Amino acid sequence: MYTQALSTTETDDRGLEDAAKAAQFQARIDAEERIEPNDWMPAAYRKTLTRQISQHAHSEIVGMLPEGNWITRAPSLRRKAALLAKVQDECGHGLYLYAAAETLGTSREELVDAMLAGKAKYSSIFNYPTLTWADIGIIGWLVDGAAIMNQIPLCRCSYGPYARAMIRVCKEESFHQRQGYEIVLTLCRGSDEQQAMAQEALNRWWWPVLMMFGPPDATSQHSDTSTKWKIKRFSNDELRQKFVDATVPQAQYLGLTIPDPGMIQDADGHWPYSEIDWTEFKQVLAGNGPCNRDRLAARGKAHDEGAWVREAAAAYAAKRARRQTAQAAE
Amino acid sequence: MATPNTPLWEVFIRSRNGLAHKHVGSLHASDTTMALQAARDIYTRRGEGLSIWVVPSTAITASDPAEKGMMFEPAESKIYRHPTFYEVPDEVGHM
């Protein structure tokens, strides 16, 4: 999930490369062929994808934190088992994506180190806190819903390993959205306090979720190259509108009010929404969201505290390898 | 300090008996035991398989896609290897 358009595309430097190869590459893309790891590709294509896929991977991993926050406090065993499975899935998604990114030539360790050092970004949405149990429902319903909207076109991305990872992710993500909607539905059928809790969570998450689709098309500088390379199939605004159109009726069914007064369906069936506060988006991306420092600190702590496990596993593997060599020599 | 690299493995899963193992992805692990366990956790969370193979990525020798023309040309030019190359009169029926 969560590639967001925080990935700005590299400038096209094909002029420096073999023009014939570049033309051939573009012809393959135009013919809807998939590009595989050992194929020739422009350096900017490689760089753009490495950044986009690794940001996507980091988002999956950091995305475990806001939800992990509620595992021990889930209201029932059923909810707890489901949430645990969902968080495990996010971890799995992160790993598929790191593996896809690595096929472009950067090791997972380098990618993770860049994230821990604050040099690589992840989706802005995970810098918001999960204050109540209703947030877990809203995340599944809306954050995962937005992610699915973003990821379905990525299943047809020109880069084979990324597209294949997305197919797996999308299959699993559908459970996430449904379990979220079920949580919100249960709250909405509950007491007045529970309904109010669901509404309050929706009020907090609505605008940050719309920001997940990235800056508006008018200001998004580099999507041209991504579109030309068929990494991106729809613009940020197109996907955002699709998401809003799908979500409004779901909210109506729940009896919840979208915190955007005066939304009226237009003649084409779309639900126009008000201006998004892009200053907030920029602030969160710049590291000044409510939880940026917490998230990075938590990832850093987990990484550091896991160092001895990695060392022990490597030492054990080395010892066994030495023993095998010694036995073979006998 | 840079995190040291952990070896890469390719994972193959047989989804049910009678089918071949199919490549599903890769993972990092320091040895075979951990690679198998990680493959179980990462690639079979929803009953996707009955059998797993893990192979060190370094053990795989791959053909060069840049030379695919030369590599696969011999097969392309031999249309007589396909049944449709041969003429059998309609009266003979399905063969």
pLDDT band, residue B95 (cuts 50/70/90): confident
Query: pLDDT per residue over B2-15, tens digit each?
Result: 778 899 999 999 99
SS3 B26: strand
- The CA distance from A196 to A188, in Å, is 8
What's residue B47's pLDDT? Answer: 86
Residue A7 has pLDDT above 70, yes or no: no
Query: pLDDT per residue over A171-223, tens digit each?
Result: 888 899 999 999 999 999 999 999 999 999 999 999 999 999 999 988 876 56
SS3 B28: strand
What's residue A8's pLDDT? Answer: 45
* Residue A215 near residue A278 (C-beta atoms within 8 A): yes
> Is ipTM > 0.95 here?
no
Tell me the chain B residues in contact with residue A89 when contact means C-beta distances shorter than 8 Å: 45
Query: pLDDT per residue over A231-253, tens digit each?
Result: 999 999 999 999 999 999 999 99
* Residue A88 near residue A27 (C-beta atoms within 8 A): no
Taking the Cβ of residue A80 and every Cβ of chain B, the question of whether any pair is shorter than 8 Å is answered with no
* B window 67-86, beta carbon within 8 A of A: none
Taking the Cβ of residue B56 and every Cβ of chain A, the question of whether any pair is shorter than 8 Å is answered with no
Strands ordered across the beta sheet of B8-14: B22-28, B8-14, B51-56
pTM of the model: 0.89
Tell me the chain A residues in contact with residue B62 when contact means C-beta distances shorter than 8 Å: 38
Query: pLDDT per residue over A62-90, tens digit each?
Result: 999 999 999 999 999 999 999 999 999 99
Return the ∠ at Cα A41 (arms to A90 and A15), rounded to 5°. 130
Chain A residue with minimum CA distance to B66: A39
Taking the Cβ of residue A300 and every Cβ of chain B, the question of whether any pair is shorter than 8 Å is answered with no
Q: Which two tokens stand for residue A298?
A: 């938590």
Q: Which two tokens stand for residue B56?
A: 């060190």
* Residue A256 near residue A188 (C-beta atoms within 8 A): yes
Q: Determine which of A40, A107, A170, A308 to mutate to test the interface with B (most B C-beta atoms within 10 Å).
A: A107
The 10 Å Cβ neighbour count of residue A257 is 14
What's residue B65's pLDDT? Answer: 80
Chain A residue with minimum CA distance to B32: A317
Residue B75 dihedral angles phi and psi, to the nearest 5°: -75, -35
Tell me the chain B residues in contact with residue A314 when contact means C-beta distances shorter than 8 Å: 4, 6, 30
SS3 B11: strand
Nearest Cα to A175, choosing from A143, A136, A140?
Answer: A140
Concatenate the DSSP letters of all residues of A148-171 into one string.
HHHHHHHTT-SBHHHHHHHHHHHH
- Is the Cβ pair B27, A95 closer than 8 Å? yes
